């Protein structure tokens, strides 16, 4: 595998999941599956909330990020910015991807593309998490219930319990969880408030997952990185990232960016001028990015007249911005 860095992040695709060890180990074993692939392969206890997803049934969402860029006095790094409390899989840049297949959110999350049916394990090249997330204690990681979907919450809770039972032989006594689900169903029938019950389920699941992993890993306070390394079993390289650097676990991360250092070496008056230009540029790009296709055409015809080859390139660049292909220019 080509060594990943912020100078070549656009050579790969990425798929992020919430911190969820059932889904994580399922991907290690089966690859990344669409809903249809999971059903065809009869993946036990498969769950995923497709209700609000931009991809349905036979598609998988992947991301493609532009090169990390320095814009005036700001490091912009979308791979880092979009992966708080996530585990991301680095995917081969050779996989077949499609434009987003559904209109919903087509102009938002515009670094998103779709893959049909399945991403094989051979096309997964590595795992990456934020350095700040790597040291998070399992006892502090929330059990993400997707609060608005109670059926999903119940399905996920039992899937996770079954996973830990199958993987480690036990998840402990389940009576408390059966009782909480019973109370949750009762509230749904009576249309009463269930917020406190949902919070209780999330809290008890978080505590139980911590108890199981601390026992297995023989650590009083295991971290997210401890758990990922345990389940991964050296199957894929694991990378840590901060805003300025990305390296395999065990290698020292750079703590600053040479471009930022160059900017800081400028005189105060020049830095002030750059900041002013940056603010003006932000307003112009925001205005253009919010225009409709028709509005953009009128704008360019009015401001540029008959387009030269150079003008045409500018038009295409702004239209790409509108479609979100050139996100680094937008901010």
Q: Cα(66)–Cα(64) distance, rounded to whole angstroms?
A: 7
In the Cβ-directed half-sphere of 66, how many Cα atoms lie within 13 Å? 17
**Residue-range domains of the chain with CATH:** 9-136+227-257 (3.90.210), 142-221 (no CATH), 266-330 (no CATH)
Query: Does residue 212 register a pLDDT over 90?
Result: yes
End-to-end CA distance of the chain, in Å? 31
In the Cβ-directed half-sphere of 116, how many Cα atoms lie within 13 Å? 5
Share of the chain above pLDDT 70, in %: 72
Please state, in angstroms and as integers, the Cα–Cα distance from residue 226 to each residue in 33, 234, 269, 271, following that order: 25, 12, 48, 43
- Tell me: the pLDDT tens digits for 176-203? 999 999 998 887 767 667 888 888 999 9
Give 327's pLDDT tier (boundaries 50, 70, 90): very low
Question: What value does the mean pLDDT take over residues 100-107?
Answer: 53
Contact (CB, 8 A) for 262 and 271: no
Question: What value does the mean pLDDT take over residues 214-227?
Answer: 96
Look at 103 and 313; give whichever has higher pLDDT.
Answer: 313
Question: What value does the mean pLDDT take over residues 10-26?
Answer: 92
Query: Does residue 64 register a pLDDT over 80?
Result: yes
Q: Which of 166, 185, 180 has the alpha carbon at shortest distance from 45?
A: 166
Fill in the DSSP letter of residue 68.
P
Give 230's pLDDT tier (boundaries 50, 70, 90): very high
Contact (CB, 8 A) for 105 and 1: no
Kindly report the CA angle at 119 between 118 and 121, in degrees rounded to 5? 125
The top-scoring range by mean pLDDT among 120-129, 145-154, 173-182 is 120-129
Share of the chain above pLDDT 90, in %: 38
Fill in the DSSP letter of residue 102.
S
């Amino acid at each position: 595998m080509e060594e990943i860095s912020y100078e070549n992040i656009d050579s790969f695709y990425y798929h992020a999941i919430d911190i969820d060890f059932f889904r994580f180990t399922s991907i290690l074993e089966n690859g990344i599956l669409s809903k249809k692939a999971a059903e065809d392969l009869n993946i036990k206890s498969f769950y995923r909330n497709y209700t609000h997803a931009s991809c349905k049934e036979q598609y998988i969402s992947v991301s493609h990020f532009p090169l990390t860029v320095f814009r005036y006095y700001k490091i912009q790094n979308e791979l880092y910015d979009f992966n708080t409390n996530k585990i991301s899989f680095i995917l081969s840049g050779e996989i077949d991807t499609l434009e987003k297949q559904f209109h919903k959110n087509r102009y938002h999350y515009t670094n998103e593309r779709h893959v049909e049916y399945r991403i094989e394990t051979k096309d997964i090249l590595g795992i990456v998490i934020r350095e700040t997330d790597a040291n998070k204690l399992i006892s502090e990681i929330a059990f993400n219930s997707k609060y608005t979907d109670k059926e999903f919450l119940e399905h996920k809770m039992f899937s996770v319990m079954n996973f830990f039972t199958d993987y480690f032989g036990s998840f402990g006594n389940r009576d408390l969880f059966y009782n909480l689900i019973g109370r949750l169903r009762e509230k749904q029938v009576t249309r009463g408030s269930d917020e406190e019950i949902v919070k209780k389920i999330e809290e008890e699941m978080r505590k139980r997952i911590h108890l199981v992993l601390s026992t297995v890993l023989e650590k009083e306070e295991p971290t997210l990185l401890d758990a990922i390394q345990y389940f991964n079993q050296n199957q894929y390289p694991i990378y840590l990232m901060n805003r300025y650097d990305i390296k395999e676990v065990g290698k020292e991360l750079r703590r600053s960016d040479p471009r930022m250092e160059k900017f800081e070496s400028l005189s105060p008056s020049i830095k002030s001028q750059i900041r002013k230009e940056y603010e003006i540029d932000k307003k112009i790009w925001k205005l253009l990015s919010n225009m409709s296709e028709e509005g953009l055409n009128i704008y360019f015809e009015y401001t540029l007249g008959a387009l030269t080859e150079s003008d045409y390139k500018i038009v295409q660049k702004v239209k790409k911005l509108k479609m979100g292909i050139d996100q680094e220019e937008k901010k």
